[in-house]
Amino acid sequence: MTIVLTPVWQNGVQKLKMAPQPPPRPQHGLTPPELDDEVHETRCMTQLRGKVSDIERYIYLSALKQHDPHMFYRLCLKHMAEFTPIIYTPTVGQACQEYSHNYRRPEGLFASIKDKGKIKSVLRAWPKIDDARISVVTDGSRILGLGDLGINGMPISIGKLSLYVAGAGIRPQSTIPICLDLGTNTQKYLDDPLYLGMRKRRVPTNEMTEFMDEFMHEMSVQFPKLLVQFEDFSTDHAFLYLERYRNQYPVFNDDIQGTGAVVLSGFINAARLASAASGQPLTDHRILFFGAGSAGVGVAMQLMSFFTLEGLSEEEARNRIYLVDTQGLVYASRGELAEHKQYFARTDYTGPPIKNLLDVVEYVRPTALMGLSTTSGAFSPDVIQTMAALNPLPIIFPLSNPVKLSECTFEDAVRFTNGKVLFASGSPFHELEHRGQMLYPGQGNNMYIFPGLGLGAILARCSSVTDSMVEASSLGLANSLTPEEEDMNLLYPQIERIREISAFIAMQVIRAAQTAGVDRNADLRRMSDSELLAFVTSKMWNP
């Protein structure tokens, strides 16, 4: 069963009403007599593949999800590698950019700054209050690497929640996609007659914080069992609101914590291979981050635990990490630094700014290069070749989304390292053959983490999401490679196994929640690991 939101007009205002629950199958007489499920799968896939562009495929799947959610999720699970680039990155980026033009029907909840003081009534409009378990909330201010899209950010919340359903079996009707309308600073949208959001520039932070305080409070009152995932807030607000609410409500920030967890996981697997090739100890890795925003710093924070788990002190771990932003290498004596960059600012360099990435690479001599900069092609052939000259098996992760903003392509990484590269990107690339050998790119995307992390937090009824739960999700993912996947030198498991992986991650997250004492479902404490895994799996919704 799924929720169907039907727009109805009342006094000139469009409102959502929950349509009657659709029967599992339309009644006899209302469908063609020989409509057969198996054949219909083929029909849907043929229609999908016949579309001329990815955005057409997105629109088709969005309609299919609404009128036949069982079929949508069945196909999604069967064709995960084909569906994710459409319902998620990269195509969801285009769907966001064109949202106001392609808009067809309401699919989520909108809360506007104009609703300040009465957010409760907005939330009450949501039809299935009792069931709500997970909400993805964006303010549209930094959608993927595409900038401030304002209200057009809604599809990112929708897309992430589709992956919660497909990837972790969260019940569709217990998901709430939310886009906050706090204005936009993108002139193109302010000038667009079809733009669906408020035609005002973004409100200042103090006003936004008052709004957010009311919003988070009302969310906890209206939806007492809800976990909130903050998504694609601009970096300053991402850090601000995570810190402000993380000890008060069950909430996490996907870009800071989910990305940190997925990259730590891929890095653990990559570092083992790289160290085996170089003979250098794991603790000798040096990681250079190109990009020092919410994602770059979030990942850097999480990667600290790679070193501390290997026995280094916090100070030694921090020393293994270097950041680069638009001004070059981040170091303490460079001048005033944004708060989120200060912890990693180098104190062992005091010279003039090193601005050029190639110069920074030559200075740092990193074993790993991470791109979270939104800058397409920043890992130039020179940079990649230098990484290959410095390391027998360099780790190169261009993680910016969507694919057109990736710091390099898989093809370039393979070509300029002569096939000797440990690679993961934020958006998917195709495998390729190099000198008779198939090489597989990893996808270092938080989509491997948030479904399982969310499922674990929901089932344990967590009062908050602790760093230890996030770390557990990462280690759970790192340890989920099968022997066959290890033989293929994969850094991440195949996405088709997402359900199995999410169940395993959820189990690890629940155990971490219990250790931290933030679980409110004490029954799970009495279960053995195998019982807990069976319980998690039994709770997954199946189309």
Binding residues for a divalent metal cation: 231-232, 255
- Asked if 146 interacts with ligand PYR (CB under 6 A), we say no
Q: Which residue's CB is nearer to ligand NDP, number 92 or number 393?
A: 92
Judged by CB under 5 A, the residue of 255, 407, 471, 519 near Mg ion is 255
Q: Does 85 bind ligand NDP (CB under 6 A)?
A: no
Q: Which of 68, 181, 254, 412 binds ligand PYR (CB under 6 A)?
A: 254
* Site residue total, ligand NDP (CB under 6 A): 29
Q: Nearer Cβ to Mg ion, position 232 or 412?
A: 232
Count the site residues for ligand PYR by CB under 6 A: 9
Q: Tokens 């302010």 label which residue?
A: 190
Q: Cα–Cα–Cα angle for 87, 93, 99, nearest 5°?
A: 90
232 belongs to the binding site for Mg ion (CB under 5 A): yes
Closest approach, Cβ 232 to ligand PYR, in A, equals 5
Instruction: Name the minimum Å distance from CB 505 to ligand NDP.
Output: 15
Cα 346 to Cα 333: distance, rounded to the nearest angstrom: 8
Minimum CB separation from ligand PYR for residue 62, in Å? 19
d(CA 452, CA 164): 8
401 makes contact with ligand PYR (CB under 6 A): yes
Angle value at C-alpha 401, between 283 and 413, nearest 5 degrees: 55
User: How wide is the angle at C-alpha 187 spanned by C-alphas 184 and 192, nearest 5°?
Assistant: 95
Cβ-in-10-Å burial (0-12, 13-18, 19+) of 483 comes to exposed
Asked whether position 369 contacts ligand NDP by CB under 6 A, the answer is: no
Q: Which of 353, 356, 323, 349 is nearest to 338 (CA)?
A: 323
Give the nearest residue (CB) to ligand NDP.
Answer: 293
Q: Which residues fall in the annotated binding site for (S)-malate? A: 142, 401, 445
Q: Which two tokens stand for residue 535?
A: 């319980």
Count other Cβ atoms within 10 Å, centred on residue 327: 14
Q: Quote the least distance from Cβ 404 to ligand PYR, whole Å.
A: 12
Tokens of 270: 């990559």
255 binds ligand NDP (CB under 6 A): yes
Work out whether 153 is an interface residue with ligand NDP (CB under 6 A). no
- Nearest alpha-carbon partner for 243 in 218, 272, 212: 212
Rounded to a whole number of angstroms, the minimum distance from the CB of residue 255 to ligand NDP is 4
Q: If binding is defined by CB under 6 A, does position 519 make contact with ligand PYR?
A: no
Applying the rule CB under 6 A, the residues between 430 and 459 that interact with ligand PYR are 445-446
Of the candidate spans 5-13, 200-208, 243-251, 253-261, the one that interacts with Mg ion by CB under 5 A turns out to be: 253-261
Choose which of 115, 232, 325, 471 interacts with ligand PYR (CB under 6 A): 232
Q: Which residues are annotated as a binding site?
A: 142, 231-232, 255, 401, 445
The token pair at 459 is: 């089932």
Structure letter (DSSP) for residue 366: -
| 426 sits near ligand NDP (criterion: CB under 6 A) | yes
| Backbone φ and ψ of 288, nearest 5° | -105, 125
DSSP string, 304-315: HHHHHHTT--HH
Binding of ligand NDP by 407 (CB under 6 A): no
Segments of 65-166 assigned E as strands: 109-112, 134-138
Counting every residue written for the chain, the total comes to 543
Partner interacting with residue 375 (select from ligand PYR, Mg ion, ligand NDP, none; CB below 5-8 Å by kind): ligand NDP
Q: Which residues contact 244 (CB under 8 A, 6 or more apart)?
A: 209, 212
Token pair of 271 as six digits: 């570092």
Q: Applying CB under 6 A, which part among 361-369, 441-449, 495-503, 528-536 lies near ligand NDP?
A: 441-449
Cα separation, 46 vs 175, whole angstroms: 29
Site of tokens 């849907």: 44
Work out which of 115, 139, 255, 471 binds ligand PYR, going by CB under 6 A: 255
Closer residue to ligand NDP in complex, CB, 133/142: 142
Which H or E run includes 390? helix 381-390
Q: What is the DSSP string of 418-439?
A: TT--EEEESS----EEETTEEE
Question: Measuring CA to CA, which residue among 131, 424, 110 is closest to residue 264?
Answer: 424
Among the listed ranges 51-59, 152-160, 183-191, 287-295, the one in contact with ligand NDP (CB under 6 A) is 287-295
Shortest distance in whole angstroms from residue 22 CB to ligand NDP: 34
CB-wise, 2 or 373, nearer to ligand NDP? 373
CA distance 430 to 423: 12
Residue 235 touches which of ligand PYR, Mg ion, ligand NDP, none (Cβ within 5-8 Å per kind):
ligand NDP
Q: Which residues pair with 5 in a beta bridge?
A: 18
Which of 184, 186, 417, 445 is in the footprint of ligand NDP by CB under 6 A? Answer: 445
Catalytic residues: 88, 160
Number of neighbouring beta carbons within 10 Å of residue 48: 18
Q: Which residues of 243-253 are buried (b: 16+ CB within 10 A; e: fewer)?
A: ebbbeebbbbb
Binding mask 62-101 for ligand PYR (x = CB under 6 A): ---------------------------x------------
The C-alpha atoms of residue 447 and residue 3 are separated, in whole angstroms, by 23
Residues lying near ligand NDP in the complex (CB under 6 A) are found at 142, 144-145, 235, 255, 259, 262, 291-296, 324-327, 372-375, 399-401, 405, 426, 444-446
Residues lying near Mg ion in the complex (CB under 5 A) are found at 232, 255
Residues lying near ligand PYR in the complex (CB under 6 A) are found at 89, 144, 232, 254-255, 401, 426, 445-446
